[in-house]
Amino acid sequence: MPAEPLLSVRDLSMRFGGLLALDAVHFDVAPGEIYGVIGPNGAGKTTLFSCLVGALAPTRGEIRLRGGRIDGLPNHQVVARGLVRTHQIVRPFRDMSVRENVSVGAHFGSGRRRGADAARRVGGILERTGLSTRADAPASTLTIGELKRLEIARALAAEPQALCLDEVMGGLNPSEILEALSLIRSLRDSGLTILMIEHHVHAVVGVSDRILVLNFGQRIAEGPPADVVRDPEVVSAYLGGDDAVPLFPEA
């Protein structure tokens, strides 16, 4: 672990009435890392992302981005500091074209670009995410694969330092998943730090530097993918049993 993490989370808890959705979660993410977050349904993964970006105000805990506290800030201020998330259930602006959707990120993200500068940036991102040919199509006409890419494109246009991807591979076919994985790797290679929630465990194991496993809001394991998937507690969380069978035999 390098001395200065990009993102540092301590004692993070989120309570909804009687449900403790996150229970004293802690972790650090290094600059340039791909950090996977996995866990069974209802483990608190999306709640974690909502707390990180300020869409939800955590009940307790501390979130630091490059050393500065961001917990308690509203979502748009967290975006301005360079932490942006995508949505698991895609949320396009349906009356806008693809280009206009991405422009929202360029105008109001940390870059705050206007006019030709914004248009250039948007054009580059559409190119990179393979949406150029659909730039002027209404967002309501996109396929699910294109909508997932639009989520990433809009978030990129907001010029994050760290990008939180919430199941961007859900609903994609195998070749689209390969494309998404290569996009994620190329984003990291260009200096971006990535946090990703993913149900496709094989995909996340293949691409992540480290993985955090949540179960019922608690951190049950963290570390390199190869170690995490052999962890007995992780195996039992996924299979619901006590048998320490490796969950992902040398895939």
Partner 1 sequence: MKRLPAASGLAATAFLLAAPLFLDRGTLNDLWSLSLGVILASAWNLLGGFAGQVSLGYSAFLGIGAYTTVLLSLRGVPPFLTLPLGALLAALFSVAIGLPAFRLRGPYFTIATIGVGEAVRVSAASVAFTGGSSGLRMPSGSFDFTANFYAMAALAIFSVVLAAAVRASAFGTALAAIRQDIDAAESLGVNATRYKLLAHALSAAVVALAGSLYAINFQYIAPGSVFDFRLSLSIVLMPVVGGVGTIAGPVLGALVFSTLQIKLLAIPALRDAYLLLYGGLLILVILYEPGGLVGLLRRLTTRRQATAPEQEVPDAG
Applying CB under 8 A, which residues contact partner 1? 53, 55, 74-76, 79-80, 84-85, 87, 91-97, 99-100, 103-105, 107-110, 114-115, 118-119, 122, 136, 154-155, 157-158
Whose CA is closest to 7, among 159, 156, 161, 152? 161
Q: How far is the CB of 176 from partner 1 (least distance, A)?
A: 22
Q: Which one, 36 or 92, has the nearer CB to partner 1?
A: 92
Say if CB 126 and CB 98 are below 8 A apart.
Answer: yes
Q: Which is nearer to partner 1, 76 or 202 (CB)?
A: 76
CB of 32 to partner 1, least distance (A): 23
DSSP string computed for 38-58: E-STTSSHHHHHHHHHTSS--
Sheet arrangement for strand 60-65: 19-29, 7-16, 60-65, 68-69
Angle in degrees, CA 36, 82, 77, rounded to 5: 120
For residue 228, the surrounding DSSP H or E stretch is helix 225-228
Residue type, 74: P
CB of 150 to partner 1, least distance (A): 11
- Closer residue to partner 1, CB minimum distance, 54 or 225: 54
Of 8 and 110, nearer to partner 1 (C-beta) is: 110
Nearest distance from residue 118's CB to partner 1, in Å? 6
Identify which of residues 123 and 232 has a Cβ nearer to partner 1 in the complex: 123
**For partner 1, which is the closer residue by CB, 37 or 153?**
153
Provide CB contacts within 8 A for 124, sequence distance 6+: none
Distance of alpha carbon 224 from alpha carbon 219, whole angstroms? 15
What is the closest distance, in whole angstroms, from the C-beta atom of residue 67 to partner 1 in the complex?
Answer: 21
Minimum distance between the CB of residue 68 and partner 1, rounded to whole angstroms?
17
